């Protein structure tokens, strides 16, 4: 039972979790198994969901009642700048075909995990769901954000025409144990944790003084982060209780500047070296912080994990598993 959810909602239910072998997916799958759901994870080696024949085979093989669509091609600012076409195509083609096939197979519920990147670049803070269409997304991640946004359009259109029960959750960046620490594709928190540990391991800077790390941008933008176990609770609560067309924000409802984030991670990792700001690199969206009231009103979700506590757990996991 999650956060007062329906006691027998999940027991025996057949649930497909796309991206179930990934960071967030591994937590969702564990929770579902604890609740005695029957879970199927279409791993990319056997089910590349960009190809319609693999989507059809996935539905044939498992006949799910519920689909939770987590699978996405994602990354930080650098990865988005290098792969705008790939991030657009892979994300939109997966989602569009999955939703269409789920509709024709009469799946009882489709849960689409969207992104804060879909919001306009200059959305008033905190971001309210009603502001979603009031402008163009921040340029560095617009192709990804717009691809995910189109799935909301499809979802709403299908509900209106076919009565298809599909919901959309707009999620902020996640963090926590098991995160992606690959410097080519990781988001800011795991990237900074790895940089701090790597710099301490290597010792002196190139100038022979103190260890140093380089961080993109000016440090002025703000970001919001949601601990992965809180996100898991929010997604499962929404699946149980929410059945409306309008998207719902899923976040922690706070913002922290990149400068303060770097300082906090440096402190928690024990990094005492030099922080160099590469201002030739982009900052990305100026501010990000969600209004999270609707999630609480509609399905009783509120993030519980204090940010510093979540960071400590993430750093501890990295030390034990990657360092």
Catalytic residues: 144
Facing residues of 113 across strands?
169
> Quick one: which H or E segment has residue 33?
helix 23-34
CA distance linking residue 312 with residue 323, whole number of Å: 15
Q: Are strands 256-257 and 222-223 parallel, antiparallel or unpaired?
A: antiparallel
Q: What are the C-alpha distances in Å from 43 to residues 16, 18, 38?
A: 11, 8, 16
| DSSP three-state, residue 129 | helix
d(CA 89, CA 237): 30
Q: What are the start-end ranges of the E strands in 221-314?
A: 222-223, 225-227, 248-250, 256-257, 274-278
| Sole residue written with tokens 């790597």 | 198
């Amino acid at each position: 039972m999650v956060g007062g959810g329906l006691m027998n909602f999940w027991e025996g239910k057949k649930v497909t979790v796309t991206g179930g072998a990934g960071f967030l997916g591994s937590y969702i799958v564990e929770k579902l198994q604890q609740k005695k759901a029957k879970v199927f994870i279409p791993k990319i080696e056997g089910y590349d969901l960009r190809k319609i024949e693999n989507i059809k085979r996935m539905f044939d093989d498992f006949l799910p009642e519920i689909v939770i669509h987590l699978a996405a091609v994602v990354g930080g600012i650098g990865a988005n700048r290098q792969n705008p076409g790939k991030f657009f195509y892979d994300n939109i083609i997966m989602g569009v075909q999955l939703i269409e096939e789920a509709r024709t197979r009469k799946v009882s519920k489709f849960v689409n995990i969207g992104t804060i990147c879909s919001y306009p670049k200059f959305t008033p803070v905190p971001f309210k769901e009603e502001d979603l269409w009031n402008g163009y997304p921040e340029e560095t991640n617009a192709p990804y954000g717009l691809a995910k946004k189109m799935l909301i359009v499809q979802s709403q259109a299908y509900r209106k025409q076919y009565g298809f029960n599909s919901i959309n959750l707009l999620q902020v960046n996640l963090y926590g144990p098991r995160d992606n620490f690959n410097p080519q594709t990781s988001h800011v928190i795991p990237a900074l944790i790895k940089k701090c540990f790597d710099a301490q391991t290597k010792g002196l800077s190139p100038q022979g003084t103190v260890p140093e790390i380089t961080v993109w941008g000016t440090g002025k933008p703000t970001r919001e982060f949601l601990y992965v176990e809180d996100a898991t609770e929010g997604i499962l609560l929404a699946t149980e209780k929410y059945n409306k067309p309008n998207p719902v924000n899923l976040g922690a409802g706070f913002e922290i500047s990149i400068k303060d984030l770097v300082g906090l991670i440096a402190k928690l990792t024990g990094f005492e070296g030099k922080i160099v700001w590469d201002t030739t690199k982009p900052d990305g969206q100026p501010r990000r912080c969600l209004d999270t009231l609707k999630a609480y009103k509609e399905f009783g979700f509120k993030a519980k994990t204090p940010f510093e506590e979540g960071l400590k757990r993430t750093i501890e996991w990295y030390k034990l598993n990657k360092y």
